[in-house]
Amino acid sequence: MFEVFKTIFLAIPKGLSVTFKYLFTKAITVRYPEQKLTLSPRYRGLHYLKRNEDGSEKCVCCGLCAAACPSGCIYMEPAEDEFGQRYAKVYEINELRCIFCGYCQEACPKEAIFLGKEYEFSNDQREKMIYKKEDLLVSIFGQRMKRPDARTGPSGGVRPDEHSG
């Protein structure tokens, strides 16, 4: 009987002492979204597609990112442009499926696809999470082209590689 009381009356204060100890130390969490953490330089966020210096798309739709993708979230359709060259007519990434492993970036022989630092792109519509080529392409200066939905999509004018939340 005494053993039981001992367990209850001694263990509870012991456990709570840990709680109270942390109550008075500095908080580990931040007040998101007012406050934001600094990201690791290797952070892998939302994808973006780069352009060449002359403004053309770097991606030639070779399909290696799709082949490397472990979750099968990249879909593409190649086509021939007016110069007879290959380009991506359709390029889609299903960000719901993506696990942000970065294999696509590794595999890309043209250094076209990168994983940026954006992570705020949640949405309440599944369709909007399928990012089209226009959503992914950045300008020559590396800025997002499109601003489909300010709060939930990639915002225009933002540099995805520098953006940190």
Partner 1 sequence: MVTLTIDGKQIIVEEGTTILKAAEKLGIEIPTFCYHDQLETVGACRMCLVEVEKIPKLQVACATVVSEGMVVRTDSPQVVNARKGVLEFLLINHPLDCPVCDKGGECELQNLVFKYGSDKSRFVEGKRRYIVDPKSKYDDLAIGPHIIRNMNRCIQCRKCVRFINEIAGEDDLGTFKRGSKTEINILPDIPIDNPYSGNVTEICPVGALTSKSFRYKIRVWQTEAIPTVCPQCADGCNIRIWKKDERIYRITSRRNDEVDEGFLCDKGRFGFDFVNHPDRLKNPLIKKNGKLSEAPWDETIKFVTSSFMKIKGETGSDSLAGVGSGKVTNEDNYLFQKFFRSVIGTNNIDHRVDSKNLLPSPDTQIRNKYFGMKNTINQIANSKLILVLGCDLEKEHPIINLRVIKARRKGSSILVANPVSTRLNRFAQNGLLYKQRTETDFLNGVLREIIETKQYDNAKSGFSSSEIEDLRRKVSSSDSLKALQTTGIGAENIKSFVNALVKAESIIILCGAEIISNPKNVEIINSLYDLIRLTGHQDKDNSGVNLLWKHSNSQGTLDCGILPDRLPGYVRISGKPGLNFNLMLEAVNQGKIKAMYIMGSDPLSEYPDREYVKSTLGKLEILLVQDILITETAKIANVILPGASFAEKEGTFTNVEGRVQKLNKAFDPLADSKADGQIICLLAQAMGHEFEYRTPKDIFKELTGVSPIYSGMDWETLGLSKKQGKVK
Binding residues vs partner 1 (CB under 8 A): 60-64, 66-67, 78-80, 83-86, 109-110
- In the complex, least distance from residue 99 CB atom to partner 1, rounded to whole angstroms: 21
Q: Which of 49, 165, 56 is nearest to 104 (CA)?
A: 49
Task: Please identify, using beta-carbon distances, which residue of 110 and 146 lies nearer to partner 1.
Answer: 110
Task: Please identify, using beta-carbon distances, which residue of 77 and 134 lies nearer to partner 1.
Answer: 77
Give the count of beta carbons closer than 10 Å to the beta carbon of residue 48. Answer: 27
Task: Please identify, using beta-carbon distances, which residue of 90 and 140 lies nearer to partner 1.
Answer: 90
Task: Please identify, using beta-carbon distances, which residue of 63 and 148 lies nearer to partner 1.
Answer: 63
Q: How many CA atoms lie within 13 A of 107 on its CB side?
A: 15
Q: Where are the alpha helices (DSSP H) in the chain?
A: 2-23, 64-68, 103-107, 133-136
Tell me whether the omega of the peptide bond preceding residue 160 falls within 30 degrees of 0, making it cis: no
- In the complex, least distance from residue 38 CB atom to partner 1, rounded to whole angstroms: 36
- In the complex, least distance from residue 82 CB atom to partner 1, rounded to whole angstroms: 11
Give whole-number Cα distances, 165 to 21, 30, 35, 141, 145, in Å. 31, 13, 10, 20, 18
β-bridge mates for residue 57, sequence order: 51
Task: Please identify, using beta-carbon distances, which residue of 43 and 87 lies nearer to partner 1.
Answer: 87
- In the complex, least distance from residue 18 CB atom to partner 1, rounded to whole angstroms: 55
| Rg for the chain, CA atoms, rounded | 23
- In the complex, least distance from residue 130 CB atom to partner 1, rounded to whole angstroms: 18
